[in-house]
Amino acid sequence: MPVKIAPSLMCANLLELRQNIAELERAQVDLFHIDVMDGHFVPNLALSFDLAEQIARSTKIPLDLHLMVDRPEDFVESVRRVGAAYVSFHIESTANPIRLARTLKTSGIQVGAALNPSTPADALTYLIDELDYVLLMTVEPGYAGQKFIPQVLGKIKQVRQMLDAAGPGRALEVDGNLNAEWARQCIAQGASILVAGSSSLFRKGTDLYTACLDFRAGINQELHQ
Protein backbone atom coordinates (compact mmCIF):
# COMPACT_ATOMS: atom_id res chain seq x y z
CA MET A 1 0.00 0.00 0.00
CA PRO A 2 1.55 3.38 -1.01
CA VAL A 3 2.41 5.64 1.91
CA LYS A 4 0.43 8.89 2.02
CA ILE A 5 1.51 12.16 3.60
CA ALA A 6 -1.15 14.17 5.43
CA PRO A 7 0.08 17.59 6.64
CA SER A 8 -1.55 18.62 9.92
CA LEU A 9 -3.07 22.03 9.31
CA MET A 10 -3.28 22.81 13.04
CA CYS A 11 0.49 23.32 12.74
CA ALA A 12 0.16 25.79 9.89
CA ASN A 13 0.38 29.56 10.23
CA LEU A 14 -3.33 30.36 10.31
CA LEU A 15 -2.63 33.95 9.27
CA GLU A 16 -1.06 32.55 6.10
CA LEU A 17 -3.23 29.45 5.69
CA ARG A 18 -4.10 30.02 2.03
CA GLN A 19 -0.41 30.40 1.17
CA ASN A 20 0.51 27.34 3.25
CA ILE A 21 -2.12 25.26 1.46
CA ALA A 22 -0.83 26.42 -1.93
CA GLU A 23 2.72 25.33 -1.05
CA LEU A 24 1.47 21.94 0.14
CA GLU A 25 -0.56 21.52 -3.03
CA ARG A 26 2.54 22.30 -5.10
CA ALA A 27 4.37 19.57 -3.20
CA GLN A 28 1.53 17.15 -4.10
CA VAL A 29 0.68 16.01 -0.61
CA ASP A 30 -1.98 13.32 -0.41
CA LEU A 31 -4.37 14.56 2.29
CA PHE A 32 -4.95 17.54 4.56
CA HIS A 33 -5.26 16.40 8.18
CA ILE A 34 -7.63 18.60 10.15
CA ASP A 35 -7.95 18.24 13.93
CA VAL A 36 -11.29 19.34 15.38
CA MET A 37 -11.03 19.79 19.16
CA ASP A 38 -13.71 20.71 21.67
CA GLY A 39 -11.69 21.63 24.79
CA HIS A 40 -13.26 18.67 26.63
CA PHE A 41 -11.96 15.43 25.15
CA VAL A 42 -8.59 17.18 24.84
CA PRO A 43 -7.59 20.31 26.80
CA ASN A 44 -7.26 22.47 23.71
CA LEU A 45 -9.32 24.11 20.98
CA ALA A 46 -8.05 23.81 17.43
CA LEU A 47 -9.69 23.90 14.01
CA SER A 48 -13.43 24.12 13.54
CA PHE A 49 -15.94 22.50 11.23
CA ASP A 50 -16.57 25.90 9.63
CA LEU A 51 -12.89 26.33 8.78
CA ALA A 52 -12.70 22.74 7.51
CA GLU A 53 -15.65 23.43 5.21
CA GLN A 54 -13.92 26.51 3.80
CA ILE A 55 -10.71 24.53 3.23
CA ALA A 56 -12.67 21.79 1.45
CA ARG A 57 -14.11 24.36 -0.94
CA SER A 58 -10.67 25.81 -1.70
CA THR A 59 -8.70 22.66 -2.57
CA LYS A 60 -8.98 19.43 -4.52
CA ILE A 61 -6.84 17.57 -2.00
CA PRO A 62 -9.04 15.29 0.15
CA LEU A 63 -9.58 16.20 3.79
CA ASP A 64 -8.75 13.83 6.63
CA LEU A 65 -10.93 14.95 9.54
CA HIS A 66 -9.79 13.86 13.02
CA LEU A 67 -12.47 14.35 15.69
CA MET A 68 -10.95 14.98 19.12
CA VAL A 69 -14.34 15.59 20.71
CA ASP A 70 -16.63 14.09 23.30
CA ARG A 71 -19.73 12.41 21.89
CA PRO A 72 -18.70 12.51 18.21
CA GLU A 73 -22.12 11.15 17.31
CA ASP A 74 -23.46 14.66 18.01
CA PHE A 75 -21.38 16.03 15.10
CA VAL A 76 -22.45 13.74 12.26
CA GLU A 77 -24.25 16.49 10.37
CA SER A 78 -21.27 18.82 10.76
CA VAL A 79 -19.00 16.12 9.32
CA ARG A 80 -21.33 15.64 6.38
CA ARG A 81 -21.41 19.39 5.75
CA VAL A 82 -17.62 19.52 5.51
CA GLY A 83 -17.53 16.81 2.87
CA ALA A 84 -14.29 15.22 4.10
CA ALA A 85 -13.06 12.07 2.40
CA TYR A 86 -11.82 10.55 5.69
CA VAL A 87 -13.11 10.98 9.21
CA SER A 88 -11.85 9.36 12.41
CA PHE A 89 -13.33 9.46 15.90
CA HIS A 90 -11.71 8.39 19.15
CA ILE A 91 -12.87 5.03 20.41
CA GLU A 92 -12.50 6.42 23.96
CA SER A 93 -15.04 9.18 23.28
CA THR A 94 -18.22 7.27 22.42
CA ALA A 95 -20.26 4.47 23.96
CA ASN A 96 -21.56 3.31 20.56
CA PRO A 97 -18.65 3.17 18.09
CA ILE A 98 -20.19 0.53 15.81
CA ARG A 99 -23.39 2.53 15.38
CA LEU A 100 -21.38 5.70 14.72
CA ALA A 101 -19.15 4.04 12.12
CA ARG A 102 -22.18 2.68 10.28
CA THR A 103 -23.93 6.05 10.37
CA LEU A 104 -20.91 7.87 8.93
CA LYS A 105 -20.50 5.26 6.20
CA THR A 106 -23.96 6.03 4.85
CA SER A 107 -22.46 9.28 3.55
CA GLY A 108 -19.76 7.49 1.59
CA ILE A 109 -17.01 8.61 3.98
CA GLN A 110 -13.92 6.52 4.73
CA VAL A 111 -14.34 5.87 8.46
CA GLY A 112 -11.57 5.33 10.98
CA ALA A 113 -11.18 4.83 14.72
CA ALA A 114 -8.45 6.69 16.60
CA LEU A 115 -6.68 5.25 19.64
CA ASN A 116 -4.74 7.15 22.28
CA PRO A 117 -1.26 5.78 23.12
CA SER A 118 -2.46 4.01 26.26
CA THR A 119 -5.53 2.44 24.61
CA PRO A 120 -4.72 -1.20 23.74
CA ALA A 121 -5.13 -2.57 20.24
CA ASP A 122 -7.70 -5.13 21.39
CA ALA A 123 -10.16 -2.26 21.95
CA LEU A 124 -10.71 -2.59 18.18
CA THR A 125 -11.78 -6.24 18.31
CA TYR A 126 -15.51 -5.70 17.85
CA LEU A 127 -15.18 -2.62 15.65
CA ILE A 128 -12.48 -3.35 13.11
CA ASP A 129 -14.78 -4.95 10.53
CA GLU A 130 -16.68 -1.64 10.35
CA LEU A 131 -13.58 0.44 9.66
CA ASP A 132 -11.72 1.58 6.55
CA TYR A 133 -8.67 2.60 8.57
CA VAL A 134 -7.27 3.06 12.07
CA LEU A 135 -5.48 6.15 13.40
CA LEU A 136 -2.91 5.50 16.13
CA MET A 137 -1.70 8.42 18.21
CA THR A 138 2.02 8.30 18.93
CA VAL A 139 1.67 11.22 21.38
CA GLU A 140 -1.12 12.23 23.74
CA PRO A 141 -3.69 14.07 21.60
CA GLY A 142 -4.25 17.80 21.81
CA TYR A 143 -0.91 19.56 21.37
CA ALA A 144 1.84 19.73 18.77
CA GLY A 145 5.52 19.32 19.62
CA GLN A 146 5.32 16.39 22.06
CA LYS A 147 7.86 13.56 22.15
CA PHE A 148 7.15 10.40 20.17
CA ILE A 149 6.16 7.45 22.40
CA PRO A 150 8.24 4.52 21.06
CA GLN A 151 6.15 1.87 22.81
CA VAL A 152 3.43 2.55 20.21
CA LEU A 153 5.58 0.90 17.52
CA GLY A 154 4.58 -2.53 18.76
CA LYS A 155 0.92 -1.53 18.65
CA ILE A 156 1.31 -0.34 15.05
CA LYS A 157 2.49 -3.84 14.08
CA GLN A 158 -0.36 -5.46 16.03
CA VAL A 159 -3.03 -3.26 14.48
CA ARG A 160 -1.56 -3.78 11.01
CA GLN A 161 -2.05 -7.51 11.49
CA MET A 162 -5.63 -6.96 12.66
CA LEU A 163 -6.41 -4.79 9.64
CA ASP A 164 -4.94 -7.30 7.21
CA ALA A 165 -6.99 -10.08 8.80
CA ALA A 166 -10.15 -7.98 8.45
CA GLY A 167 -9.67 -7.61 4.69
CA PRO A 168 -7.59 -5.89 2.02
CA GLY A 169 -7.16 -2.16 1.49
CA ARG A 170 -7.44 -0.93 5.07
CA ALA A 171 -5.04 1.89 5.92
CA LEU A 172 -3.12 2.49 9.14
CA GLU A 173 -2.53 6.15 9.99
CA VAL A 174 -0.09 7.43 12.63
CA ASP A 175 -0.03 10.88 14.19
CA GLY A 176 2.45 12.54 16.52
CA ASN A 177 6.04 13.84 16.29
CA LEU A 178 6.79 12.09 13.02
CA ASN A 179 10.20 13.24 11.94
CA ALA A 180 11.73 11.20 9.11
CA GLU A 181 13.38 8.70 11.46
CA TRP A 182 10.25 7.89 13.46
CA ALA A 183 8.19 7.90 10.26
CA ARG A 184 10.47 5.25 8.75
CA GLN A 185 10.09 3.09 11.84
CA CYS A 186 6.30 3.43 11.68
CA ILE A 187 6.32 2.42 8.01
CA ALA A 188 8.43 -0.61 8.86
CA GLN A 189 5.70 -1.71 11.30
CA GLY A 190 2.91 -1.22 8.74
CA ALA A 191 1.83 2.44 8.76
CA SER A 192 0.49 3.73 5.45
CA ILE A 193 -0.65 7.32 6.24
CA LEU A 194 1.71 9.71 8.02
CA VAL A 195 0.36 12.85 9.70
CA ALA A 196 3.15 15.41 9.31
CA GLY A 197 3.33 18.37 11.65
CA SER A 198 5.87 20.58 13.39
CA SER A 199 8.53 17.86 13.56
CA SER A 200 8.69 17.37 9.81
CA LEU A 201 7.02 20.08 7.72
CA PHE A 202 6.08 23.17 9.71
CA ARG A 203 9.58 24.03 10.87
CA LYS A 204 10.94 27.52 11.38
CA GLY A 205 13.33 28.65 8.68
CA THR A 206 12.17 26.06 6.11
CA ASP A 207 9.59 26.67 3.39
CA LEU A 208 6.81 24.11 3.24
CA TYR A 209 7.46 23.01 -0.31
CA THR A 210 11.09 22.13 0.42
CA ALA A 211 10.16 20.53 3.76
CA CYS A 212 7.65 18.28 1.98
CA LEU A 213 10.20 17.16 -0.59
CA ASP A 214 12.77 16.49 2.14
CA PHE A 215 10.29 14.50 4.25
CA ARG A 216 9.16 12.39 1.31
CA ALA A 217 12.79 11.69 0.39
CA GLY A 218 13.47 10.70 3.99
CA ILE A 219 10.64 8.19 4.19
CA ASN A 220 11.48 6.80 0.77
CA GLN A 221 14.64 5.38 2.32
CA GLU A 222 12.39 2.91 4.14
CA LEU A 223 10.15 2.20 1.15
CA HIS A 224 13.06 1.35 -1.15
CA GLN A 225 14.97 -0.90 1.23
Q: What's the average model confidence in pLDDT over 127-137?
A: 97
How do the domains of the chain map onto residue ranges?
Answer: 4-223
Give the residue numbers annotated as catalytic, written as ranges.
35, 175
- Which residues are CB-contacts of 190 (< 8 A; sequence separation ≥ 6)? 156, 157, 159, 160, 161, 163, 172
Half-sphere exposure of 208 (CA within 13 A, CB side): 25
| The pLDDT of residue 115 is above 80 | yes
Could you tell me the pTM of the whole model? 0.95
Residue 225: pLDDT over 70: no
Q: What is the pLDDT of residues 2-40, one digit of tens each?
A: 899 999 999 999 999 999 999 999 999 999 999 999 988
What homologous superfamily is domain 4-223 in, according to CATH?
Aldolase class I (3.20.20.70)
